[in-house]
Structure 1
Amino acid sequence: MASAVLPTRHRRDESIKRQKSKSDRDILLQMGFTKQRAEKAIAATGDSGVQLASDWLLSHVNDPHLDQNNAREYILYLCPQGALQKEVVEFAEKSLNSCGWNGSHAYFPHITLCPFFTVEDSKVHDVTCAVLKMATKLRQTPGKMKLDFFSQINFIGLFVQEDFYKFLSDITNQVGEELNRTGIKFEPHKKQLHMTLAYQYQTEQHDKLLAMARDINLDTNVRWEFRLYSRDISRAQCEVRKVLKAYTPQLGDELELIDGDFVYVEPSEIQDSKDGWYSGISWLTGNSGYFPGTYTQRTADTRTWTLHRSLPMEAKVEILPRETPQLPPPLIPVGATPIDPSPSHVTQGAMPNITHSNGFGLEDDTYDNLWHDSKGYAQVKKKPPLSEPRKLFVVRHGERVDFALGKEWFDMCFNDDGNYKRSNLNLQRELPKRKTHLEFIKDPPLTVIGLHQAKLTGENLLESGSTVFCIYCSPSLRCVQTATEIFKVYNLPWKLRIEPGLYEWTGYQAGVPRWMAPSELLQHGYPVDTTYVPQYPRERLVEDEPVEVLYARSTETTKQILKNHELEGGNLLFVGHAGTLELCTRLLVGKGARNINDYKKILPKVPYCCVCAIEEDPARKKWAMIEPPSLPLTHGRNYSQRIIPLLQ
């Protein structure tokens, strides 16, 4: 990250005192929410700021359970990232399709580090602080973490070897000690640490599942993350169903099904229903009612969990063959329940950390390779080299409506009640509903031409052979709409990630507008990952930021995102503003930040949907500017006057 250069201060005014920053709870109280609702919202959104908490409260305004004082359950996981995760996810999909649902399908790949512990909403920040104190210790790993492949009649999994078991136990116990000091009851994990591949399945399916597990490739460098999750304790025994198709209620007792939502259903509802209609509760809104079961599908419980914090732990996994597993006395007797049948085997998915199209709420990374011999013991196979250096494509958004039609577009299209009616063919037929239509003034949408520009750009990138692994975009609506059009062309499995660090210069914009929250965007059909935790949260943005800070902020965001995807490789695509093409690449390729005058000069020269590209030298870990793979997009001006007056 490039450090911002501050000028030396000579003037002082001791009469000016910095106001003590208020807590998120205090701000929500000032906004008119009750103490119980404010604390509940902060806990439900992972202690991630006022914006998410207030958005959650507004979306649950009709939730009949909103004022119930139910504590949440928390748990610590060690989650793999990269190719290993991908392989385990693929195994889960194959086993589900071939053998049906088993206990492991309720969670994403993980190693459970402790039992669930209950925390009152008023103490959520204490849990956050206790976990964050482990950041330094997690970078002091004793070396490579080794896992042993193990199976019995009703269990298939990977066990952590003793040397790393002690390290992980010590870390977890230190979190527990911090929590106990605050009055939160925490019990250490007493079971052997392991990652479950399959359990709670029919005995006759064991050989088939074992054969599929032997196809998993685990010879890889894997990135591990130490994570804190929580779940709504009142929904712990419910089945979670993903909405496959939206449904508008026809009767008063029916539940609206929203794209991207999940529904909590009591297991007895599924068993006892005679007409295929189930009674359930919406995850997004908390509303209850009957809904058609065929419009939903069972999915991982953890897709409705909240990710509070995720800390990296540098470690590599290695699967070793072992003729006779040297485990302590039979932890999994043949025919008995697996070691840990509780939901502590749980796993993004938004989720909160990641939303995934595979139905397991698993993360968006790729996994490595392991195979097994005829005896079921793991063998090591070398990881193939990356086929090509990874690239970063940066794209400006398409034509924005206020620049194309002038700022008067707003008054021409909205009446006093906020109802929208387009007044020009270059305006979209419909716009997403917002808290207030006034938000469109500072956060305008694309024109119809802008949407087409974005689609053409995505198609040309695809035609050029440029692959894209994941798309990140600025929270501005015009950037989200541009990214969505490109996303549709590529049909990616990973949803769009909204990153405030890619927002334009606040000194140019004169402040930070209120953007649509990821959950709002998802409700309106934009393929947004509601579980993504930004690298540069909105709260860090400052008004009238100096250009030096702008360059530093953009570079910091870019570097962190690139680092997060370092193991699995693959090209990334950013969608931002006119300056984003410069801000996210210039320092990365070894050049210095421009001064304010030079930076302003380049902004008018960047056309809509302009693309720039940089490429990494894998050996030197250096980035260089390359010729973008897409063709330029040029079109002429079309005047707005009607033809009739000209002919009269």
Structure 2
Amino acid sequence: MYLLCGMGRSKMASGVLPTRHRRDESIKRQKSKSDRDILLQMGFSKQRAEKAIAATGDSGVQLASDWLLSHVNDPHLDQNNAREYILYLCPQGALQKEVTEFAEKSLSTCGWNGSHAYFPHITLCPFFTVEDAKVHEVTRAVLKMETKLRQAPGKMKLDFFSQINFIGLFVQEDFYRYLSDITNQVGEELKKSGIKFEPHKKQLHMTLAYQYMAEQHEKLLGMAKDIHLDAEVRWDFRLYSRDISKAQCEVRKVLKAYTPQLGDELELIEGDFVYVEPSEIQESKDGWYSGISWLTGNSGYFPGTYTQRTADTRTWTLHRSLPMEAKVEIPRRDMNSQLPPPFIPTPIEHPPSSVVQGATSNHSNGFDLEDDTYDNLWHDSKGYTQVKKKPTLSEPRKLYIVRHGERVDFAMGKEWFDMCYDDDGNYKRNNLNLLRELPTRKTHLEYIKDPPLTVVGHYQAKLTGENLLESGSTMFCIYCSPSLRCVQTATEILKVYNLQWKLRIEPGLYEWTGYQAGVPRWMSPTELLNHGYPVDTTYAPQYPRDKLQEDEPVEVLYARSTETTKQILKNHELEGGNLLFVGHAGTLELCTRLLVGKGARNINDYKKILPKVPYCCVCAIEEDPARKKWAMIEPPSLPLTHGRNYSQRIIPLLQ
């Protein structure tokens, strides 16, 4: 028996499976269902399911169902409009940044020209139309090029070329043949599925500027000379699509939210885009335009001043992106050279007529090229200067809430202030758990009601941030109470995550004024920034300080905290991503309880929970993207427990 068991263990250790004798033919392996089949089972029609899959880049059921739910009131939802597709080669890295900076500068200096309607790219083919039912065939055709794209013939070189009304960079002959071959192979694959595809007949190039007034040529040419053509770059082979019914429209980004006052008006959601017919812009006499929301498909009139013109490509869908693994070297050439390349392009490449009509009118509207340019709800092409991929709404959003670290007056007692400050306001550290220096304030007396963290408090915050990061918890933006101890806690966490966003100071996250007996004077965002805290001084609070009530009732406290939380979550709804609030002991309760469907506690019950919340305690809630409901989840961080350390000196105990 011992021998048999030993042999069994030996076989298991060697990875040899035991012989199987039993067999049940009634058990059949189910074939995995397609995204369309799953959407059909969810109750969506075939046409809507296929339309959603195509509109979201063939990127899964979750994204497609989100799109359908957001377009539930779209009057065009059941129209059978095919989409237009195109292949681009897009630069990523330092060269992309150089070209983007040129675009920003040329816009502010010379106004809108045709190149501002697109992000930096090399066009590999004309637009081709594909029925929504065949989106998988297009995806597969592009993915088959992955191996070929890893076989680039060395480094791609571009030649500078300019003529009146055009400035660009042209692909040299060796890479022209290589890229044309890849594009033609995609075309051959598409033709097998009955998709009409025409190869690109123009010389491949990246446009820097075109469709501008002739008198602006020298100025634009001078700015183009500032582009560092030897900058490092990686090229991505990309498949995009656009809604063919909106191809002739001008795209406007919503800068400010607007709630409709009349039945024929369109709700504006900050960060959304609106499609507008060019004639609307030209013929409007009151600055109100009729448009269609990109996010919801709803139509109506909206105030044009709440929007600004932006790139058409911001509403395109990225289906696939494959890297071309070759470094690029772009030699400098005489910027004034007028020798043409093998093929001189016509000034108009493939922009919609809205660009053609608007190009010569010198629109003064801003054109924004921020990092969030292409990281929209169903569009993830990493924008112009994007460094990190932002999360999308395909992943459930989470809100993490952290209490601040150990505060000095609770650790040392309220007498800490008298021991550390003399009558002239000079600070002297008298305990190792006190910071060596404290920020200078208008008066040192402000520290009585707005105390800082201890040294241990700073370390607690750092440990918490590290543990959140190690757990895989991503953060998109951090909001914190104006209290200095909260700002210091949030700063330590921000350092760990190394976020590009700065801290946003939100008075709506401040603790109960009835508990604190009034509202203290906090350091302003500018003061905090001047003392080295990474604070966003441009942020406009959702709940300004002047709205805080002295001795507010608990019901008002819950309402204020919930209102602040809901508004912040709404503001980030388009780009998605997890948020972090840094507040007080009550913040973990106040910002979540009503949001998860529970009622506010009475004053006695609320007071009971405050002493039970330890320093740097973390709670988390998660959103159900389909139902837009939030629920409490297990926090990702470990608890932080430490013992009490008495402050008495040892000498008196030994005497």
Q: Distance in 2 between matches of 1:180 and 1:171?
A: 14
Q: Given the alignment of the two structures, is residue 398 of structure 1 paired with residue 401 of structure 2, yes or no?
A: yes
Match among 176, 186, 190 for residue 179 of structure 1: 190
Distance 2:78 2:14 in 1: 48
2:625 counterpart residue number: none
1:295-334 superposed matches below 5 A: 295-322=306-333, 324=337, 327-328=340-341, 331-332=344-345
Contact 1:354 1:530 in 2 (8 A): no
**Which residue, 345, 362, 373 being the options, matches 2:384?**
362
Please point out which of 28, 36, 39 is paired with 2:50: 39
Structure-1 separation of matches of 2:180 and 2:537: 38
1:525 aligns with 2:551: no
Secondary structure at the counterpart of residue 48 of structure 2: helix
Structure with max Cα Rg: 2
Change (3 A) 1:72 1:448: closer
Q: Which structure 2 residues correspond to residues 440-455 of structure 1 after superposition, within 5 A? A: none
1:554-581 deviations in whole A, cap 9, x for unaligned?
A: xxxxxxxxxxxxxxxxxxxxxx999xxx
Is contact 2:203–2:343 with CA below 8 Å preserved after alignment?
no
Q: Which runs of 5+ in 1 are unaligned?
A: 367-394, 401-445, 472-487, 494-519, 533-575, 579-601, 609-632, 637-648
Q: How does 1:378-527 map to 2 (within 5 A)?
A: 397-399=400-402, 456-460=488-492, 468-469=499-500, 524-526=570-572
Other-structure match for 2:376: 350
Partner of 1:200 in structure 2?
Answer: 211
SS of the counterpart of 1:309? Answer: strand
Does the C-alpha gap of structure 1 residues 110 and 314 become closer, same or farther in structure 2, counting only changes over 3 Å?
Answer: same
Residues 269/455 of structure 1: CA separation in 2 closer, same or farther (3 Å cut):
farther
Q: SS in structure 2 opposite 1:317? A: coil
Per-residue deviation at 1:343? Answer: 5.4
Contact kept in structure 2, 1:80 and 1:223, CA below 8 Å: yes
User: Structure 2 vs 1, CA of residues 252 and 224 (structure 1 numbering), >3 Å: closer, same or farther?
Assistant: same
Q: 1:262, 1:282 within 8 Å by CA — same for their partners in 2?
A: yes
Give the aligned partner of residue 338 of structure 1: 347
The 1-side partners of 2:400 and 2:644 are apart by 16
1:585 maps to none
Query: TM-score, normalising length from structure 1?
Result: 0.58
CA contact (8 A) 2:271 2:574 kept: no
Structure 2 distance, partners of 1:83, 1:287, is 39
Structure 1 pair 339–277 and aligned structure 2 pair: CA distance change class (3 A): closer
Q: Does the aligned pair in 1 maintain the 2:149–2:325 contact within 8 Å?
A: yes
Q: Does structure 2 conserve the Cα–Cα contact (< 8 Å) formed by 1:302 and 1:349? A: no
Is the 1:243–1:258 contact (alpha carbons within 8 Å) kept by the matching residues of 2? yes
**1:611-630 matched pairs, under 5 angstroms:** none
Secondary structure in 2 aligned to 1:70? coil
Indicate the percent of aligned positions where both proteins have the same amino acid: 70
- Unpaired segments of 5 or more residues in structure 2? 1-12, 357-372, 389-397, 404-476, 503-532, 539-565, 579-617, 621-634, 646-655
Aligned AA for 1:364?
A: Q
Are the equivalent residues in 1 in contact too, given 2:203–2:342 (CA < 8 A)?
no
> 1:522–1:528: 8 Å Cα contact kept in structure 2?
no
What displacement does 1:447 show?
14
Residue 159 and residue 456 in structure 1: after superposition, are their counterparts in 2 closer, same or farther (change >3 A)? same
1:398 is displaced (CA, Å) by 3.5
Distance in 2 of aligned mates of 1:245 and 1:89: 25
* Residues 11, 201 of structure 1: alpha-carbon distance in 2 compared, 3 angstrom cutoff: farther
Letter in 2 for 1:171: I
Matches within 5 A, 1:233-244: 233-244=244-255
After superposition, the Cα gap between the structure-2 partners of 1:289 and 1:635, relative to the gap in structure 1 and judged at 3 Å, is: farther
The answer as to whether partners of 1:77 and 1:113 remain within 8 angstroms in 2 is yes
Q: What is the alpha-carbon distance in structure 1 between the residues aligned to residue 81 and residue 402 of structure 2?
A: 47
Name the residue aligned to 1:266.
Answer: 277
Aligned partners of 1:304, 1:193: CA distance in 2, in Å? 24
Partner Cα separation in structure 2 for residue 342 and residue 141 of structure 1: 29
1:413 counterpart residue number = none
Matching residue's letter, 1:33:
F
Say if 1:353 and 1:531, in contact at 8 Å, map to a contact too.
Answer: no
Aligned partner of 2:344: which letter? L
The aligned amino acid for 1:195 is M
Match of 1:616 in 2: none
Counterpart amino acid of residue 351 in structure 2: S
Spell out, residue by residue over 1:582-611, the C-alpha distance to the aligned partner (whole angstroms, 9 max, x if none): xxxxxxxxxxxxxxxxxxxx9874559xxx
Counterpart for residue 105 of structure 2: 94
**Distance in structure 1 (CA, Å) of the matches to 2:643 and 2:95:** 44
Check if 1:225 corresponds to 2:236: yes
Report the counterpart of residue 554 of structure 2 in structure 1.
none
Aligned match of 1:152: 163
Q: In 2 relative to 1, CA 466–252 (structure 1 residues): closer, same or farther, beyond 3 Å?
A: closer
Alpha carbons 2:126, 2:350 under 8 Å: kept: no
Displacement, 1:350?
A: 2.6
Query: Tell me, what secondary structure is at the counterpart of 2:297?
Result: coil
* Partner deviation per Cα, 1:367-421 (whole Å, 9 max, x = no partner): xxxxxxxxxxxxxxxxxxxxxxxxxxxx994349xxxxxxxxxxxxxxxxxxxxx
CA distance, structure 2, for counterparts of residue 162 and residue 492 of structure 1: 50
Residue 137 of structure 1 and its aligned partner are, at CA, apart by 0.7
Letter in 1 for 2:347: P
Whole-angstrom distance in 2 between the partners of 1:577 and 1:225: 40
Q: 198-207 or 308-317: which moved more? A: 308-317
Query: Any idea what SS the aligned residue of 1:318 has?
Result: coil
Q: CA deviation at 1:319?
A: 2.0
Q: Which amino acid in 2 is paired with 1:460? A: E
Matching residue's letter, 1:525: N
Q: In structure 1, what is the Cα distance between the partners aligned to 2:14 and 2:569?
A: 42
Residues 18 and 198 (structure 1 numbering): CA distance in 2 closer, same or farther, change over 3 Å? Answer: same
How big is the alpha-carbon RMSD for the aligned residues of Structure 1 and Structure 2? 4.1
Match in the other structure for 1:83: 94
Please report how far the alpha carbon of residue 349 of structure 1 lies from its aligned counterpart in structure 2 after TM superposition. 4.2
Cα distance in 2 between the residues matched to 1:523 and 1:338? 44
- 1:231 Cα deviation after fit: 0.2
Structure-to-structure mapping, 1:85-124, within 5 angstroms: 85-124=96-135
- Amino acid corresponding to residue 348 of structure 1 in structure 2: Y
Aligned to 1:141: 152
Q: Distance in 2 between matches of 1:91 and 1:634?
A: 58
SS at match of 1:96: helix
* Partner Cα distance (2:86, 2:65) in 1: 25
Using the alignment, how far apart are the partners of 1:258 and 1:208 within structure 2? 37
1:253 equivalent in structure 2: 264
| CA distance in 1 between partners of 2:535 and 2:188 (Å) | 48
Q: 1:90 Cα shift?
A: 1.0
The one-letter code sitting in structure 2 at the alignment partner of 1:178 is: E
Name the CA distance, whole Å, in 1 between partners of 2:307 and 2:51. 28
Q: Kindly state the Cα deviation for residue 268 of structure 1 after the two structures are TM-superposed.
A: 0.3
Q: Are the counterparts in 2 of residues 144 and 315 from structure 1 also a CA contact under 8 Å? A: yes
Which whole-Å deviations, capped at 9, do the CAs of 1:281-311 have from their partners, x for residues lacking one? 0000000000000000000000000000001
How far apart, CA to CA, are the structure 1 residues paired with 2:125 and 2:79? 27
Q: Structure 1's 275 and 22: CA in aligned 2 closer, same or farther, altered over 3 A? A: same
Shift of 1:259: 1.3
Deviation at 1:29, TM superposition (A): 0.6
Deviations 1:146-204 (A, max 9, x none): 01111111111111101111110001100000000000000000100000110000000
SS in structure 1 at match of 2:207 = strand
Whole-Å Cα distance in 1 between the matches of residues 142 and 323 of structure 2?
Answer: 12
